[in-house]
Structure 1
Amino acid sequence: METTRSRGRKLLRLFGYIIAALLLLVASGLLLGDHLTPKALGTPSQAMPLQPDQTLIDRSLAPMLAEHPGESGAVYLSEGLEAYAARSIVTRQAGRSLDLQYYMWHDDMVGHLLANDVYQAAERGVRVRLLLDDMNAAGLDAQMMALDTHPNIEIRLYNPFRNRDGLWRLLEMVQRAFSINYRMHNKAWIADGRVAIVGGRNIGEEYFDARPDVNFRDLDLLLAGPVAADASRIFDTFWNSQEVVPISALQHNTKQQMKNFIDQAKLEAREQEAVPYLQRVRARLDDSYLGNRLALHWTSQVHIRSDPPSKRKDADPRDWLVTHLAQELGSARHKSLLISPYFVPGAAGTKALIGQVKNGVQVGIITNSLAANDVAAVHSGYMHYRRPLLAGGVQLYELKSHGHTGRASTFGSSGASLHTKAFVVDDRRGFVGSFNLDPRSAYLNTEMGVLFDDPVLAARLRSEYLRLSDADLSYWVYLSKGSDLRWLDRSATPPITYRTEPDTTLLQRATTRVISWLPLESQL
Structure 2
Amino acid sequence: MPPSLTLRRRTLRRGVGAALLVSAALLGATVGGCTSLPENVNRPVSKALPPAADGPLAAFIQQNGSDKPAASVAAPRTTSGFMLIDGPQAAYSSRLALAEQAQRSLDLQYYAIHADASTGRLMRAVQDAARRGVRVRILIDDFHSAGRNALVLGLADTPNVQIRLFNPLAGARASSIGRIVVSLGDMGRIQQRMHNKLFIADNTLGITGGRNLGDAYFGLGGDAGNFVDLDVLAAGPIVQQMSKSFDQYWNDERAYPVESLVDRKEMDRIREKAAESGRSGASGGAQGTPSPPDGEPRPDAQSAAAFGDSKAAQRPGWDEQPMDLKAVKFTWAPALLLVDRPGKIPADEQAKEGPAPAKPDAPHGEMPAGETVVEGVLPLIAQARQDLVIVSPYFVPGKEIRNAFAKARERGVRIRVLTNSLASNDAPVAHVGYARHRTDLLDMGVELYEMRADQAGLRQALGTGSGVTGGMGESKAMLHSKFIVRDGRLLAIGSMNLDLRSQKQNTEIALVVRSTELSAEATSIVEKSLKEGAWKVERDPSAGGALVWRAPAGSGLQDAHTEPDTSTSLRALLWLIGPLAPDSML
Report the TM-score, using the length of structure 1 for normalisation: 0.85
In structure 2, the partner of 1:124 is 132
Aligned AA (1:290)? L
Aligned AA (1:150)? T
1:253 aligns with 2:264: yes
The residue correspondences of 1:317-332 to structure 2 (distance < 5 A) are 318-332=370-384
1:297 aligns with 2:331: yes
Distance in 1, Cα, partners of 2:240 & 2:169: 31
Gap change, CA 1:259 and 1:343, over 3 Å in 2: closer
In structure 1, the partner of 2:569 is 507
Q: Encode CA deviations 1:392-413: one digit per residue, 9 max, x unaligned.
A: 11111111111399xxxxxxxx
Q: Which has the bigger relative contact order, CA under 8 A and spacing at least 6?
A: 2
1:478 aligns with 2:538: yes
The residue correspondences of 1:210-221 to structure 2 (distance < 5 A) are 210-213=220-223, 214-221=225-232
Secondary structure of 1:155 counterpart: strand
Superposed displacement of residue 430, structure 1? 1.8
Aligned AA (1:196)? G
The residue correspondences of 1:14-413 to structure 2 (distance < 5 A) are 23-26=29-32, 39-53=40-54, 55-65=55-65, 67-69=68-70, 70=77, 71-140=79-148, 143-165=151-173, 166=175, 169-213=179-223, 214-253=225-264, 268-270=309-311, 274-276=313-315, 280-282=318-320, 285=322, 289-292=324-327, 294-299=328-333, 301-313=334-346, 314-316=355-357, 318-403=370-455
Contact 1:269/1:275 (CA < 8 Å) preserved in 2?
no
In structure 2, the partner of 1:3 is none
In structure 2, the partner of 1:516 is 578
Distance in 2, Cα, partners of 1:266 & 1:135: 19
In structure 2, the partner of 1:464 is 525
Secondary structure of 2:93 counterpart: helix
Superposed displacement of residue 76, structure 1? 0.6
Gap change, CA 1:423 and 1:353, over 3 Å in 2: same
Distance in 1, Cα, partners of 2:485 & 2:29: 45
Aligned AA (2:136)? V
Percent of matched pairs sharing the same residue: 32
Q: Encode CA deviations 1:260-309: one digit per residue, 9 max, x unaligned.
A: 99xx87973437xx2346x7324x635xx2222x221122x123221001
- Give the unaligned 5+ runs of structure 2: 1-23, 71-76, 275-304, 347-354, 359-369, 458-474
Q: For 2:486, which of 419, 425, 433 is the aligned residue?
A: 425
Secondary structure of 2:107 counterpart: strand
In structure 1, the partner of 2:13 is none
Report the TM-score, using the length of structure 2 for normalisation: 0.77
Contact 2:343/2:357 (CA < 8 Å) preserved in 1?
no
Distance in 2, Cα, partners of 1:467 & 1:441: 27
Distance in 2, Cα, partners of 1:349 & 1:57: 40
Contact 2:456/2:533 (CA < 8 Å) preserved in 1?
no
In structure 1, the partner of 2:19 is none
Gap change, CA 1:22 and 1:340, over 3 Å in 2: closer
- Give the unaligned 5+ runs of structure 1: 1-17, 406-413
Distance in 2, Cα, partners of 1:443 & 1:222: 27
Superposed displacement of residue 202, structure 1? 0.4
Gap change, CA 1:161 and 1:312, over 3 Å in 2: closer
Secondary structure of 2:183 counterpart: helix
Q: Encode CA deviations 1:89-120: one digit per residue, 9 max, x unaligned.
A: 11001111000000001111112111111111
Q: For 1:487, which of 528, 536, 549 is the aligned residue?
A: 549
Gap change, CA 1:109 and 1:141, over 3 Å in 2: closer
- Bigger shift: residues 125-134 or 480-489: 480-489
Secondary structure of 1:245 counterpart: strand
Distance in 1, Cα, partners of 2:505 & 2:138: 22
Distance in 2, Cα, partners of 1:259 & 1:163: 17
Contact 2:151/2:307 (CA < 8 Å) preserved in 1?
no
Contact 1:346/1:385 (CA < 8 Å) preserved in 2?
no
Secondary structure of 2:402 counterpart: helix
Distance in 2, Cα, partners of 1:324 & 1:469: 26
Contact 1:41/1:244 (CA < 8 Å) preserved in 2?
no
Gap change, CA 1:168 and 1:392, over 3 Å in 2: closer
Gap change, CA 1:492 and 1:255, over 3 Å in 2: closer
Superposed displacement of residue 466, structure 1? 0.5
Aligned AA (1:195)? L
Distance in 2, Cα, partners of 1:448 & 1:480: 38
Distance in 2, Cα, partners of 1:189 & 1:122: 15
Distance in 2, Cα, partners of 1:181 & 1:39: 24
Aligned AA (1:230)? Q
Distance in 2, Cα, partners of 1:368 & 1:61: 37
Distance in 2, Cα, partners of 1:380 & 1:195: 39
Q: How many residues align?
A: 483
Superposed displacement of residue 24, structure 1? 4.5
Superposed displacement of residue 509, structure 1? 1.4
Give the root-mean-square deviation of aligned CA atoms: 3.0
Distance in 1, Cα, partners of 2:149 & 2:522: 38
Gap change, CA 1:120 and 1:492, over 3 Å in 2: same
Q: Encode CA deviations 1:347-404: one digit per residue, 9 max, x unaligned.
A: 4422321331121100110011111111111111111111111111111111111139
In structure 1, the partner of 2:277 is none
Distance in 2, Cα, partners of 1:516 & 1:142: 33
Distance in 2, Cα, partners of 1:316 & 1:97: 30
Aligned AA (2:216)? E
Secondary structure of 1:46 counterpart: coil
Secondary structure of 1:310 counterpart: helix
Distance in 1, Cα, partners of 2:381 & 2:142: 32
Distance in 1, Cα, partners of 2:146 & 2:556: 49
Secondary structure of 1:478 counterpart: strand
Gap change, CA 1:398 and 1:93, over 3 Å in 2: same
Q: Encode CA deviations 1:448-488: one digit per residue, 9 max, x unaligned.
A: 11111111111111112202211x20011110112110011
Q: Encode CA deviations 1:143-170: one digit per residue, 9 max, x unaligned.
A: 2443111220000000112323357623
Distance in 1, Cα, partners of 2:30 & 2:572: 34
Distance in 1, Cα, partners of 2:60 & 2:238: 17
Distance in 2, Cα, partners of 1:491 & 1:393: 22
Secondary structure of 2:329 counterpart: coil
Gap change, CA 1:228 and 1:265, over 3 Å in 2: farther
Secondary structure of 1:366 counterpart: strand
Aligned AA (1:268)? D
Distance in 2, Cα, partners of 1:380 & 1:208: 28
Superposed displacement of residue 504, structure 1? 1.1
Secondary structure of 2:190 counterpart: coil
Gap change, CA 1:97 and 1:468, over 3 Å in 2: same
